[in-house]
Amino acid sequence: MASEPREYLRIERLPHVWCPGCGHGMITHALACAMAELELDPKQTAVIGGIGCSGRTAFLFDMDSMHTTHGRAVVFATGLKLVRPALTIVLALGDGDAIGIGGNHFIHACRRNLDLTAIIYNNAIYGQTGGQVAPTTPPAKKSTTSPYGNLEHPFDIARLAIAAGATYVARTTSFDFADMVKFIKRGIQHKGFSVIEVLTHCPTYYGRLNDLRDPYEMLHTIKEQTVPIEEWDQLSEEERAGKIVIGELHRQVRPEFVESYYRLIAQMQRLQENSVDGH
Ligand SMILES: Cc1ncc(C[n+]2csc(CCOP(=O)(O)OP(=O)(O)O)c2C)c(N)n1
Ligand code: SF4
C-alpha cells in the first residue's frame, strides 16, 4: 500500500504541462496527499478527468485513469462505478467541463447520489481553449469572448450541487492547501456524491485579461474574496456582498445509488428463484 503522495503519481510524466503559476498543480498535489493520508490502494482507486487543462490531472495518477470527452467524465465514472462498485473514483473536472457542457450530467449525478468524489477546478474561465467566458466567470470580468466585461450571471457551483442533491459539498481555494486535503479526504470517505469546489487561478488567461498577471497576487486576491462559513453567519447582507463563503457547506445521509441498485437486483433474483421453486 502506498503512503507517500509521490507514490500515487506517474513521476515519469513530470514536469506537467500546466503554465508556471497555475493552480491546477496545487489541487493535484492536494489530491495525491489526500490519497496518501487515507492510504488508498492504487489498485482500487481511479481518477477520471474530462477535457481541459484540469482534465490532464487524470493521467498524472499512477492507477487506472481515464482522460475522457469534454463534459462526459461524470458519465464514464457512473459506468465504471456501476461495474466496479468497490473502486474509489475521483473526478478531476474543470468548471466548464462540470457545469458548462457537462452541466446536465453533473446535476443528475448529484441527484442520483453515486459514491463518487468530484473535485472542481474552478478557475472561472475556459483555460485550455484560450480563455473564453465560462458559466462561472464573474460579472464584468474579461475573457477572450467577453472583452468588454461579462454580462452574464455566474453559477455558484457549491449551491448548485446542494440544490441538485449532492450529499457532501465543500468549497475552498487553492490558497488553503490544508483544507483542500481535508475536504478531499472527507469527500472520498463520504458515502455518496461529493463535490469539492476549489476556487483557483489561471494566470495565463483570467489573470492576464483581468490585471492579475502575478500568480501570487492572484492567489491572494481569491483568498481575500472568501469568508469561512464559521464567520459567514455573523456578516450583514452588505458585508457579504462580493464575498464567497468557503468551508464544509453541506453533509447529508441519503441512500447511495449503486448500493440501492445491487440490493434491488438481489431482491429481484430472490423473487425469481422463489417463483421458479414454487412451480
Ligand atoms: C464536445 C467538445 N466541445 C468543446 C471542446 C473544446 N474544449 C476543450 S477544453 C474546453 C474548456 C475547458 O475549460 P474548463 O473545463 O473550465 O477547464 P480548464 O481548461 O479551465 O481547466 C473546451 C470548450 C471539446 N474538447 N469537446
Ligand atoms: S491556461 Fe490557465 S488553467 Fe490552463 S494551464 Fe495555463 S494557467 Fe492553468
Could you tell me the residue ranges of all domains in the chain? 5-278
The pLDDT of residue 277 is above 70: no
Pocket flag, ligand 1, residue 172 (CB < 6 Å): no
Q: Is the pLDDT of residue 2 over 80?
A: no
Give the Å distance between the CA of 205 and the centre of ligand 1: 14
Kindly state the average pLDDT of the residues 79-96. Answer: 98
Q: Phi first, then psi: give them for residue 117, nearest 5 degrees.
A: -120, 115
Q: Is 20 in contact with 96 (CB distance < 8 Å)?
A: no
Distance 63 CA to ligand 1 centre (A): 24
CA of 97 relative to ligand 1 center, distance in Å: 6
Average pLDDT over residues 204-209: 97
- The label of the residue with cell 477546478 reads 121
Here the contacts of 178-181 (C-beta below 8 Å, separation 24 or greater) are 179/246, 179/247, 180/26, 180/27, 180/30, 180/34, 181/30, 181/33, 181/34, 181/37
CATH superfamily of 5-278: Thiamin diphosphate (ThDP)-binding fold, Pyr/PP domains (3.40.50.970)
The per-residue pLDDT for 194 is 98
Mean of pLDDT values over 147-156: 97
Q: Which ligand is nearest to the CA of 122?
A: 1
Ligand 1, atom 24: closest residue by C-alpha? 70
pLDDT tier, 278 (very low <50, low <70, confident <90, very high otherwise): low
pTM value surpassing 0.95: yes
> What local confidence, expressed as pLDDT, does residue 1 receive?
59
User: Do the beta carbons of residue 153 and residue 123 sit within 8 Å?
Assistant: no
Q: For the chain, where are the alpha helices, taking DSSP H only? A: 24-37, 73-83, 95-96, 103-112, 157-164, 177-189, 208-209, 215-224, 229-232, 237-240, 257-278
Contact 164, 107 (CB under 8 A): yes
Q: What is the pLDDT of residue 275?
A: 86
> 61-86: per-residue pLDDT in tens?
999 999 999 999 999 999 999 999 99
**pLDDT band (50, 70, 90) for residue 233:** very high
